[in-house]
Chains A and B, each alone.
Chain A
């Protein structure tokens, strides 16, 4: 199956620090979506990106659609304890239009 590789796999940071994570694929994606999942709950949509090069912010979160359309980046500024969770990238493959994939996830721990 398609692999959306996320790095790093896990992060342990101090409260107040900035966070950067990315998502890469060997295939082209039309859309990049970033989700956060808390333990025992469903993923919650954070940011949606629809155009190559697009940079979109949602509060302290900023995400970018890579110009090659094979990658995307998520930054979190001034992290707080409630940022703890697993962050997933996701999107539909460009060439098929009928499959949707989630990344492998980045687990974030914020130390107060």
Chain B
């Protein structure tokens, strides 16, 4: 089992460009999450999906959209990237909402 996988691993964008971060899990988990981590800080929840077909805002949703494509996949989209969105983005999944979450390796995004 691969667990939680994320693509790409690294990305550089110019201000105003758009991109989609992909996440997939093979643990048959119901809930999935997107976090961002800024240097020297803890993770902050952007969006989550309690189950297939539902999505909800987390602590810092502005500037992002998400899609729960199916039970396995949860994508994060930046429609118009800004330098403030330079961060490391982590996807996670859990069997039950907000219970034990398992994380992917992260996507390092730089917006210039």
Mask, B4-35, CB within 8 Å of A = 1, is 10000000000000000000000000000101
Contacts of B92 in A (CB 8 A): 42
CB distance from B52 to the nearest CB of A (A): 18
User: Taking the complex as formed, is A66 at the interface, i.e. its CB lies under 8 A from any CB of chain B?
Assistant: no
Whether B100 pairs with A45 at a CB distance below 8 angstroms is yes
How many residues belonging to A are interface residues under a CB distance threshold of 8 Å? 24
Interface residues on B, range: 20 to 34
User: Taking the complex as formed, is A31 at the interface, i.e. its CB lies under 8 A from any CB of chain B?
Assistant: yes
Whether B98 pairs with A31 at a CB distance below 8 angstroms is yes
User: Taking the complex as formed, is B79 at the interface, i.e. its CB lies under 8 A from any CB of chain A?
Assistant: no
Bound CA span A44–B92, Å: 11
Contacts of B60 in A (CB 8 A): 1
Bound CA span A100–B96, Å: 13
Whether B45 pairs with A101 at a CB distance below 8 angstroms is yes
Bound CA span A61–B84, Å: 37
User: Taking the complex as formed, is B43 at the interface, i.e. its CB lies under 8 A from any CB of chain A?
Assistant: yes
Bound CA span A97–B101, Å: 16
Mask, A83-108, CB within 8 Å of B = 1, is 00000101110000011111111000
Contacts of B102 in A (CB 8 A): 45
Contacts of B35 in A (CB 8 A): 102
Bound CA span A90–B41, Å: 13
Whether B33 pairs with A103 at a CB distance below 8 angstroms is no
Bound CA span A55–B33, Å: 27
Whether B45 pairs with A100 at a CB distance below 8 angstroms is yes
Contacts of B59 in A (CB 8 A): 1-2, 99, 101
Bound CA span A105–B100, Å: 18
Whether A31 pairs with B44 at a CB distance below 8 angstroms is no
Q: Which residue of B lies closest to A45 (CB)?
A: B100
Q: Which residues of B contact A (CB under 8 A)?
A: 4, 33, 35, 41-45, 48, 56, 58-60, 90, 92, 98-106
Q: Can you spell out 17 A-B residue pairs with CB atoms less than 8 angstroms apart?
A: A31-B99, A33-B100, A40-B106, A41-B105, A42-B4, A42-B92, A42-B103, A42-B105, A43-B90, A45-B101, A90-B42, A100-B33, A100-B98, A101-B59, A103-B42, A104-B42, A105-B42
